[in-house]
Amino acid sequence: MGIRKIEEKYTLNADKRAALVALKGKGAILTDILGDKYADFTAGKYNPLGYKCKKWERRVKGQLKKFSAENYYSRPVAEFSKAICRKTKMKRVFLAASADAANESAFLAARKYSFDKYGAERFKIAVIDGDFHGYSFAALSASDTLASGFGPKAEGFVSLPDGDIAALEQALDNTVCALALEIFSRGESKPKEKAYLEKAAALCREKDVLLIVNETNLGLGITGQLFSYMNFGLSPDIVTAAEGFGGPLAVALFGEKAENALSCGLYGAQQGGNPALCAGATYLLNAINEKLLVKVRENGKRMKEILAECENIGSFEGLGMLIGFLAENEQSVFAECMERGLIVGTANGKIVLSPPLNIEENVLENGLHVLSDVLSR
């Protein structure tokens, strides 16, 4: 029985996988067990510096040789916490092992902040239609994606249409403690409108409603800034992130209002803040500096220039190297690209690209020409 068959037999795969069995990777190139090589134009969301980043590996392995337990103070955790707070200008960070735990901590911190200041009636969290906040019971209820058969949803969430400022203004009453949103809804390559985000942030400040920005479905630096909200000049009260740290490490970053909302004994993390993962993540944070982010923005422009030569592509969406566009039959495009050694993302009728931030120029251009050729047929 092959690897794929074994996994399908014994693993409850809730996530759809690409139809290949991966063996190893280096940079933007992924090799399968048959030795076939693919330029992975989705890797940037998960591995911002590509596969087999030697400097990241050295830091993780170096810490593993010492110890890797979460129940003691350690230099890697301290350095990572300091680095990410300074880079985001946030006050404190909650370290978790999953996006679900990070988002849950954000919801609870917002409720606790409001409870302490305004009382028990101010507990609802406003969310935007189409956004996705994870797979916990509360998050599925918030996103209105709780499957049939799981029983009634958790209460306390108010769902609002994207881009409707009037609906938002009306919803943020004295029962709402927070507004939680994604800059890019899950799987999307088009961000929310700048005017809407600015107005939402202003309303939150005016009404003392905490603004939670969920970045857990985006990779570090892929939009040309460390986090996507930075492209819009926002100053959220809470930011959650998970993709791009190199393993099961997630964070909830708290600004001044919410920095003391959670405390030991009131909330906690299971396996949060692994020292080895924190050592690797600190390297990634420092490597994704302004010089590299400038290159990401330049590469994004170059990607659009090359793809614009293809007559079958209309307009582009996205920021930095996160680029998407409508495709007539995206699954056929995906399959043909795979046959020609290129992995692209698909979502909602679109092709979505997010290559590693430091992808080699020839790999980037060759992959784009393959995609253009497939689209031209």
Percent with pLDDT over 90 in the chain: 76
For the whole prediction, is pTM greater than 0.75?
yes
In order of start, what are the domains of the chain with their CATH numbers? 3-52+290-375 (3.90.1150.10), 67-287 (3.40.640.10)
> For 327-372, how does the pLDDT look when each residue is reduced to its tens digit (9 = 90+)?
888 899 999 999 999 999 998 889 999 999 999 999 999 999 999 9
Kindly give the residue spans of alpha helices, DSSP state H, lying in the chain: 3-10, 54-66, 75-88, 99-118, 137-142, 165-171, 194-207, 275-287, 290-308, 330-339, 361-375
> For 139-157, how does the pLDDT look when each residue is reduced to its tens digit (9 = 90+)?
888 877 666 678 888 899 9
Query: For the residues 13-20, what does the mean pLDDT come to?
Result: 78
What's the CA gap between 361 and 377, in Å, rounded? 25
Instruction: Give the pLDDT of residue 363.
Output: 97
More confident residue, 1 or 167: 167
CA angle, corner 258, sides to 155 and 254, nearest 5? Answer: 105
What's the CA gap between 184 and 228, in Å, rounded? 8
